[in-house]
């Protein structure tokens, strides 16, 4: 009976969310909800990834949000009926107030996720994150072998990642673990071996993301990133491999990318917009300095240090940015933006209701 009640609650929450997002996006009504908030809390990192430069010192950056500033988002998130706060960075576990923030958002009834490289997560930290109420942990792991991992992420960290996944899974109440894999020339031949390992670790989700040269990585030396981009002629094989892995995972009850996402993997490298992007309607992004924008393509925005988040998303300036999303013609297939946009696209939702529901259930906690 409790299971049925919780299923009904999730379905009704999703239906309400869907109607409100559509009315904001297509009827341009006043924003009443922002179901997801991507909140980056750190502009530093303990890894040295070749695909990302957040770890490089930037002496001119403004100060990161303080604990109080992060917690001051709560009333606005409650007013916007935000259901999921996804905390990332940089590396969020570098912040010692991470547990305080998680506990506060949980107290307000939100599901809280973190995106982490897991290098700093030992058993005690996994336990304290769980005690704070962490709902889902996304761990990045791009290669199944020690040397391959080190070549991509710049540190000898695979053992720590494996141990961290085990710490989360062996808690008295295990935390669901999702693995994020950035697909590049450095691991395109190791994806099946990586999937084998993740299945053995007992993870709940495994998702593949094409390496991007835009988004927050656009300040990087583009030539270096382009060397990591899979060759055009390799894309059909990569898609076929990921498709095979996805079928295997689905048969095992492990969440993964939508088939639509896999079929349009090259959208990361050439402009096509196979489904309308819901940036700014379904989700907003807040960077470690408090700037708010619909997605990483538009990194200048109003700041929560100046006005509350709900006032920002209702402002003329943000509305103009949201309209900019409709005309956006940049190559982008970031899973954090694309997958929710696919799954909230009505034709997709009607064709795959069970998949969408299962995915929502994992994320809503």
In the complex, what is the shortest distance from the CB of residue 216 to ligand SF4, in angstroms, rounded to a whole number? Answer: 9
- The closest alpha carbon to 244, from 149, 236, 219, 284, belongs to 236
Interaction with ligand SF4 in 280-339: which residues (CB under 6 A)? Answer: none
Using rule CB under 6 A, residue 190 touches ligand SF4: no
Q: Mask 40-69, x = binds ligand SAM (CB under 6 A)?
A: -----x---x-xx-x---------------
30: exposed, middle or buried (C-beta count within 10 Å: 0-12, 13-18, 19+)? exposed
Piece of 84-92, 188-196, 238-246, 286-294 that binds ligand SAM (CB under 6 A): 84-92
Handedness of CA 349, 350, 355, 357 (dihedral sign): positive
In the complex, what is the shortest distance from the CB of residue 29 to ligand SF4, in angstroms, rounded to a whole number? Answer: 36
Between residues 33 and 121, which has the closer beta carbon with respect to ligand SAM?
121
Between residues 47 and 258, which has the closer beta carbon with respect to ligand SF4?
47
Using rule CB under 6 A, residue 209 touches ligand SAM: yes
Q: At what angle do helices 353-364 and 335-343 cross, to 10 degrees?
A: 130
Q: How many CB atoms lie within 10 A of CB 295?
A: 25
Using rule CB under 6 A, residue 230 touches ligand SAM: no
C-alpha of 94 from chain center: 18
Using rule CB under 6 A, residue 114 touches ligand SF4: no
Q: Which two tokens stand for residue 284?
A: 């907003």
Reduced to 3 states (helix: H, G, I; strand: E, B; else coil), residue 206 is strand
9: exposed, middle or buried (C-beta count within 10 Å: 0-12, 13-18, 19+)? exposed
Q: Which two tokens stand for residue 239?
A: 């898609």
Rounded distance between C-alpha atoms, residue 122 and residue 75, angstroms:
33
C-alpha of 80 from chain center: 19
Sole binder of ligand SF4 in the list 90, 92, 157, 294 (CB under 6 A): 90
Cβ–Cβ under 8 Å, residues 139 and 178: yes
Q: Which residues pair with 284 in a beta bridge?
A: 37
In the complex, what is the shortest distance from the CB of residue 104 to ligand SF4, in angstroms, rounded to a whole number? Answer: 23
Q: Total residues at the site for ligand SF4 (CB under 6 A)?
A: 11
- Specify the DSSP class assigned to residue 234: G
Handedness of CA 357, 280, 118, 142 (dihedral sign): positive
Interaction with ligand SF4 in 140-159: which residues (CB under 6 A)? Answer: 140
Residue 217 binding partner per list ligand SAM, ligand SF4, none, with a CB distance cut-off of 5 to 8 Å that depends on partner kind:
ligand SAM
Sole binder of ligand SAM in the list 24, 86, 135, 180 (CB under 6 A): 180
For 22, residues 6+ apart whose C-beta sits below 8 A from its C-beta are 346
Piece of 143-151, 208-216, 257-265, 300-308 that binds ligand SAM (CB under 6 A): 208-216
Q: Which residues pair with 179 in a beta bridge?
A: 139, 206
Piece of 43-51, 247-255, 308-316, 341-349 that binds ligand SF4 (CB under 6 A): 43-51
Interaction with ligand SAM in 301-340: which residues (CB under 6 A)? Answer: none
Between residues 115 and 297, which has the closer beta carbon with respect to ligand SAM?
115
Rounded distance between C-alpha atoms, residue 169 and residue 232, angstroms:
38
Using rule CB under 6 A, residue 191 touches ligand SAM: no
- The closest alpha carbon to 212, from 339, 37, 330, 294, belongs to 330
Using rule CB under 6 A, residue 140 touches ligand SAM: yes
Between residues 78 and 160, which has the closer beta carbon with respect to ligand SAM?
160
In the complex, what is the shortest distance from the CB of residue 68 to ligand SAM, in angstroms, rounded to a whole number? Answer: 23
Q: Total residues at the site for ligand SAM (CB under 6 A)?
A: 18
Using rule CB under 6 A, residue 86 touches ligand SF4: no
Can you give the binding site for ligand SAM, defined by CB under 6 A?
A: 45, 49, 51-52, 54, 88-89, 91, 115-117, 140, 180, 182, 209, 211-212, 217
Binding site for ligand SF4 (CB under 6 A): 45, 47, 49, 52, 54-55, 89-91, 117, 140
């Amino acid at each position: 009976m409790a299971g049925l009640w919780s299923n009904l609650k999730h379905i009704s929450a999703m239906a309400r969310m869907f109607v409100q997002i559509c009315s904001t996006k297509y009827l341009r009504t006043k924003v009443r909800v922002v179901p997801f908030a991507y909140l980056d809390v750190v502009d530093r990192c303990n890894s040295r990834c070749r695909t990302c430069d957040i770890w490089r010192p930037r002496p001119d950056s403004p100060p990161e949000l303080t604990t109080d500033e992060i917690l001051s988002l709560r009333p606005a998130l409650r007013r916007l009926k935000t259901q999921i706060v996804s905390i990332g960075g940089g590396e969020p576990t570098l912040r010692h107030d991470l547990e305080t923030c998680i506990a506060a958002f949980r107290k307000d009834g939100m599901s809280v996720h973190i995106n982490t490289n897991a290098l700093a997560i030992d058993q005690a930290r996994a336990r304290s994150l769980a005690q704070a109420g962490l709902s889902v942990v996304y761990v990045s792991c791009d290669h199944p072998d020690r040397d391959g991992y080190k070549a991509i992420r710049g540190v000898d960290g695979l053992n720590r990642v494996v141990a961290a996944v085990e710490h989360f899974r062996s808690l008295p109440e295990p935390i669901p673990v999702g693995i994020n894999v950035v697909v590049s020339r450095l691991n395109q031949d190791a994806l099946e071996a990586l999937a084998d390992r993740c299945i053995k670790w007992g993870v709940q989700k495994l998702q593949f993301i094409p390496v991007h040269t835009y988004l927050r990585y656009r300040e990087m030396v583009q030539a270096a990133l382009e060397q990591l981009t899979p060759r055009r002629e390799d894309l059909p094989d990569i898609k076929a491999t990921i498709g095979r892995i996805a079928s295997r995972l689905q048969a095992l009850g492990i969440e993964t990318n939508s088939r639509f996402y896999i079929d349009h993997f090259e959208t990361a490298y050439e402009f096509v917009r196979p489904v309308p992007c819901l940036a700014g309607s379904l989700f907003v992004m807040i960077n470690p300095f408090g700037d708010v924008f619909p997605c990483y393509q538009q990194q200048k925005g109003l700041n929560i240090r100046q006005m509350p988040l709900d006032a920002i998303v209702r402002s003329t300036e943000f509305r103009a940015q949201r309209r900019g999303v409709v005309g956006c013609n940049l190559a982008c297939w970031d899973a954090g933006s694309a997958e929710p946009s696919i799954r909230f696209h009505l034709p997709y939702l009607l064709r795959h209701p069970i998949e969408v529901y299962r995915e929502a259930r994992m994320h809503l906690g």
